[in-house]
Amino acid sequence: MNKQLAEFVGTFALVFFGCGAAVVGSMGSGPGAINLLGIASAFGFAIVAMAYGIGPISGCHVNPAVSFGVFAAGRMSAADMVSYWIAQVLGAIVAAGVLYLILSGK
């Protein structure tokens, strides 16, 4: 797996599970609803899972701001940063689209 694909998968997982928990949490009420702790846990577990899964491949940035920070520290070239950004944005858009399809019932 190349670095860009790893970043795509990592960002997809973060948006899908984290934002998915937030959206589903806002839809429910009562004792079975996802609360703030559940939403935060979904984001946290997604990051930890991706850190173990794709961390050795790409560094698990899954956020353009992190990639920029790595670039500013001199640990990444500008071309790599831009390719990470493209993969991260595409991963987030695809995850949001999948969530939309699932939650809209289409």
- Residue 17: give the domain boundaries: 3-26+43-104
The phi, psi pair for 29, rounded to 5°, reads -150, 160
- Does residue 74 lie in a domain region? yes
Q: Residue 53 in 3-state DSSP? A: helix
31 domain-assigned: no
Angstrom distance (rounded) from CA 1 to CA 58: 10
Total domains in the chain come to 1
- Tell me if residue 29 falls in helix, strand or coil: coil
pLDDT value at residue 68: 97
Domain annotation covers residue 37:
no
Could you report the per-residue pLDDT of 25-48, keeping only the tens digit for each?
877 777 777 888 999 999 999 999
The pLDDT, as a whole number, for residue 75 is 95
CATH number, residue 94: 1.20.1080.10
Given a cut of 80, whether residue 64 has pLDDT beyond it is yes
The percent of residues in the chain predicted with pLDDT above 90, rounded, is: 79
Mean pLDDT of 69-98: 97
The answer to the question of residue 34 being in a domain is no
